[in-house]
Amino acid sequence: MPTSALPPPPELAAGPDVLLRCPVVDDVDGMVEQCVDPETQRWISIPVPYTASDAREFVDRATQAWQAGTVATFAIVYRGRFAGSLDLRMDGWAAPRSGSGWPRGRAAAG
């Protein structure tokens, strides 16, 4: 398992509409909007009901994991709004592996 921090988190743009960056507190409302959606709850393991406190805890854990060098979590931002997340886990498997949250809701629908 990694014992040192990952490089500073980058911001990765995919054209003018899509950005990958670390989750931030400003994403909390969008996270809650997505995570109270029954279809989201069907596909990912999250607390139900999902609250702003859960989203803030996710942001804190993502920051701590990046600093510990164990998980690189990215917020998917579409046209300026939180649209989902993905992570790259360095957890001792043969190679890093990824997971993702579904981009849903108004931000992803356009």
Q: Kindly report the pTM of this predicted structure.
A: 0.79
Looking up tokens 């997340």, which residue turns up?
85
Write down all domains in the chain, each with its CATH number in brackets: 12-89 (3.40.630.30)
Distance (Å, rounded) from C-alpha 90 to C-alpha 51?
A: 28
What tokens were used for 25?
Answer: 């507190």
Q: What is the DSSP letter of 17?
A: T
- Distance, CA of 72 to CA of 67 (rounded, Å): 9
End-to-end CA distance of the chain: 40
Ordered mean pLDDT values, 10 residues apiece, the chain (110 residues): 70 89 96 92 90 96 92 92 88 54 49
Count, residues in the chain = 110
**From CA 72, how far away is CA 32, in angstroms rounded?**
21
